[in-house]
Homo-oligomer: A and B are copies of this chain.
Amino acid sequence: MKKIKVRCPATVSNLCCGFDILGMALNDPYETIELTVSNTPGIRIKHTDDFKLTEKPDENIAGIALQAMINELDISYGFEVIINKQIRPGSGIGSSAASAAGIIVAANELLGLSLSKKEQVRFAMEGEVIASGSRHADNLAPCIYGGIILIRDTATFDIIELPFPSMYVTILHPQIDIKTSYARGILPENVPLKSAVRQWANVAGLIAGFMKSDYQLISRSLEDVIIEPVRSTLIPGFNDIKTRCMLIGVMGGGISGSGPSVFMLSEKEETAKDAENIMIEIYERLGIDFKTYVTTINKNGVEVIGRNE
């Protein structure tokens, strides 16, 4: 039977001052999804990773997204799904988005549906909303489009691809649990207008910096005066890591998603590796399990890596 295999990138959402509106795709880590058409109706899911996620199609994120697509497009086939998740659930780098986005892109390619990327985000959202409890596309959209993505409005899927210069990304994933709902709960309902203005000044600077390939402007604009001061308290060593990274020439960084992962952006690969060493040193001292990655920004989004007609 027709079969396809896709590679689904991790993503950083809540890009510093761009809380809820800016996300980017990473070349590493990623997960793979293999999707096979079947004449037997229904969805059968198998995980080949060790994360013990549910394989029940109506509870699994990929299953829910695929089912929403099957229902709306009145697809009569069944599907076999094999997921090899390498992005740890709860890491804050778009693990659930990778599954939801990956399955939709795979089905779109496999069945030759020619859905627009925006429509694919819309279907993937059905899975993502189960995982995160709210309708946000700032992991899904970069996962499907690749690159750095602005989601101006989630309700209308107003998604804008932003040009950006070459950058290196250092990721620290502390193996601690921070529930998205808790991280949302500690945010203030109201913020000082003065802080909000400073935040949107930085957002404006960041967008202009990306589009002008102005590294110094990007660096000056990578400042989050609203979310980071609250959420960073949940991440051991955050301030220490950030301060030391800035001292060695990292452009800036922050919390990925609602944490616990931390990202740092560098102009040069060497700086990104030095930032990784700082993270390793601090986390070894803290005695907390962790993973680090030095990677670049993924420009293609979910990609077909195998096909069998």
Whether A160 lies near B208 (C-beta < 8 A) is: yes
Q: Which of A82-125 contact B (CB under 8 A)?
A: none
Q: Which of A202-222 contact B (CB under 8 A)?
A: 202-205, 207-208, 211-212, 217, 220-221
Whether B201 lies near A151 (C-beta < 8 A) is: yes
Q: Mark A1-45, 1 if CB is under 8 A from B, else 0.
A: 000000000000000011111100000000000000000000000
Whether B200 lies near A21 (C-beta < 8 A) is: yes
**A286 contacts chain B at the CB level, 8 A cutoff:** no
Q: Mark A149-169, 1 if CB is under 8 A from B, else 0.
A: 011110000101010000000
Residue of B nearest to A156 (CB): B220
**A226 contacts chain B at the CB level, 8 A cutoff:** yes
Residue of B nearest to A152 (CB): B205
Whether A196 lies near B18 (C-beta < 8 A) is: no
The residues of B that contact A158 with a CB separation of less than 8 Å are 205, 220
Picked from B188, B192, B203, B212, the residue with its CB within 8 Å of the CB of A189 is B192
A206 to B: closest C-beta gap in Å = 8
Q: Which of A175-192 contact B (CB under 8 A)?
A: 187-192
Whether B193 lies near A192 (C-beta < 8 A) is: no
Number of interface residues of A (CB under 8 A): 37
**A73 contacts chain B at the CB level, 8 A cutoff:** no
**A247 contacts chain B at the CB level, 8 A cutoff:** no
The residues of B that contact A193 with a CB separation of less than 8 Å are 187-191, 226
**A199 contacts chain B at the CB level, 8 A cutoff:** yes
Whether B19 lies near A208 (C-beta < 8 A) is: no
The residues of B that contact A191 with a CB separation of less than 8 Å are 190-191, 193, 196
List chain A positions with a Cβ less than 8 A from chain B.
17-22, 150-153, 158, 160, 162, 187-193, 196-197, 199-205, 207-208, 211-212, 217, 220-221, 226
Whether A204 lies near B203 (C-beta < 8 A) is: yes
Whether A22 lies near B204 (C-beta < 8 A) is: yes
Bound together, the chains give a CA A192 to CA B20 distance in angstroms of 14
Bound together, the chains give a CA A72 to CA B130 distance in angstroms of 62
Residue of B nearest to A21 (CB): B201
A59 to B: closest C-beta gap in Å = 30
Residue of B nearest to A199 (CB): B200
A75 to B: closest C-beta gap in Å = 33
Whether A226 lies near B196 (C-beta < 8 A) is: yes
Residue of B nearest to A202 (CB): B152
The residues of B that contact A201 with a CB separation of less than 8 Å are 20-21, 150-153
Bound together, the chains give a CA A217 to CA B153 distance in angstroms of 11
Picked from B150, B188, B189, the residue with its CB within 8 Å of the CB of A204 is B150
Whether A203 lies near B203 (C-beta < 8 A) is: yes
Q: Other CB < 8 Å A-B pairs besides A20-B201, A193-B226, A196-B226, 20 of them?
A: A17-B200, A19-B200, A21-B201, A21-B204, A22-B204, A150-B201, A150-B208, A152-B205, A152-B221, A188-B193, A189-B193, A190-B190, A191-B193, A191-B196, A199-B200, A200-B200, A203-B203, A207-B208, A208-B211, A211-B211
